[in-house]
Every structure is written in structure tokens, then in C-alpha cells.
Amino acid sequence: MIIFTGDNSFDGLLSCLYFAYEQKKFPDLILSESDPMPLFADECYHVITEKEKSARVWKALEKKLSKFARNMMLSVWLSELPETAMLLFRYIRKNLDHPQGVELNFGDSDVLRIRDIAQKVATDARKLVQFVRFQELADGTRFAPVSPRYNVLSLIAQHFRTRYAGQPWIIFDTGRNTGLYYDTRTVQEISFAQKDLAELKSGMPGKEKLSDRELYFQQMWKEYFRHITIEERINLKQQSRSMPKHYWKYLPEIR
């Protein structure tokens, strides 16, 4: 068994591709530096991420794959599934080695799996856009805690940057302690101190952190939601199909 270890980044994966072709050593397993090593391994190589080398691999892929296929690869990486690194390695290798590539060869199990994961990630991003609920903080910044299945914040950033171009906002992934902060000019990645995570994960910033207008409108919205509900027509199964329970956590009308 041949094992590659790296920094668990997409550039790191492309660096593994470069190293494999350069050394003519192709891995059976790609692990991050923090993963436990198998008991039995014939060869193990630590691959250092090098932007120049990863860029050369990406340029080769731009010549072989459509933009749609390349975006699917990036979506698969954002899934963070355990199989991702080796799945993408095999997919990239097949496309580089085959004269016409295998992008549209849906008889190939790896091609089908790439498409399946990419569709699930795209669905997660789309649902997140639909169910984000901003709260206005005391300083005027809009804050939205979210809990997506996959690491999709980068896929929704442009939508909210365009939709709320003149307002500062934060969308925070509570499960990954990573977020996006838009200051009306640029979008930056942020994280919070561990001592603040419990409050953030609850989705309920302290009342002193919310604007008076936000508290008022949250109460009004809950009252409206209760008044329009017809108990005799409640259909939880249909509600779950239209609005999956996974996205209920931070909806003010549910809390």
C-alpha cells in the first residue's frame, strides 16, 4: 500500500497529483497530517503543498475539462466526505490519462459519484440561501447563524454580497466555526473564540447584542406566524418536504 499525507487542502491534493506523476508513485490512500496511519503500509510519502505545482495541474485540467466539470470537482471537495481525496485523485488521473477524458463517461463509477456528491452540495447551498435568517445587531450588522451539511459558505457568498450590497453582514457556520463577514466592500473569512461558540450555536445572541428593532420584529413575526397557523391543517410531513428539518434550527418562527 502506498500512502500520501498532506495538509488536507485542495492545493495540497493537486500537489499530490504533481508528485505522483513526477515520482511515478500513485497512492492507494491520501490522508491528512492529523489522520492515524494504517498499521501496514509499504511506502509513505509526505507531500508538501506548493502553489506553483498545484497551479500547473489546474492548468492541465482547464485544457481537459469543462468549467462545469471543474466546478463539480470543487463542490465535491467542499463536501468534506472521507472519500473525497481519493475519489478526486482517481477522477483527475483518469481525465489526464485518457485522450478525450472521462468527464461524460457516466458508465464510470467515479464519474457518477462525483456528479452525485456535487448535486447534494449544490442542493445544500440552495437550501441555505432560502432559509438564512438575519438578525440585526446593535451596531447595525446583520448576523445569521447557519448549520449546513457541507462546507458551502463560499458557494453562497456572491448571492448575499449582491443581495445585500449596502449592508454589513455575517453568515456564520456554527458547526465549523467559520464564517463570512461583508463590510460593504469585501468579504472576509472569520472565526470566533471558543468562549463565544456556545451562545453562537444557540442562534440566540444576548438581547443586549441585538438592536431594539430586531427584538420588536422577531416578536411581531412570531405573533404573525402563530395567528396565520390553522391547527386543523397542520401537516408536518408536507412541511418537512418543503422546508427540511435540518434547516429549522435557526428559524425565529420555530424557536
Beta-carbon contacts of 241 under 8 Å, excluding residues fewer than 6 positions away, are: none
User: Band of the pLDDT at 226, cuts 50, 70, 90?
Assistant: confident
Q: Check pLDDT > 80 for residue 253.
A: no
pLDDT at site 49:
97
Percent of the chain beyond pLDDT 90? 64
Q: Check pLDDT > 80 for residue 216.
A: no
User: Band of the pLDDT at 237, cuts 50, 70, 90?
Assistant: confident
pLDDT at site 123:
95
Rounded Cα gap, residues 42 and 60, in angstroms = 30
Cα-Cα-Cα-Cα dihedral sign, residues 253, 142, 216, 139 = positive
pLDDT at site 245:
78
Give the residue extent of every domain in the chain.
2-123, 132-247
pLDDT at site 223:
72
Residue range 132-191, pLDDT digits in tens? 989 999 889 999 999 999 999 999 999 999 999 999 999 999 999 999 999 999 999 999
CA angle 185, 186, 188 (to 5 degrees): 145
CB contact at 8 A, 179 and 189: yes
User: What is the average pLDDT score of the chain?
Assistant: 89
Annotate 172-186 with DSSP letters as a single string. Answer: EETTTTEEEEE-SS-
pLDDT at site 220:
67
pLDDT at site 154:
96
pTM here?
A: 0.85
The residue among 155, 147, 145 whose CA lies nearest residue 121 is 155
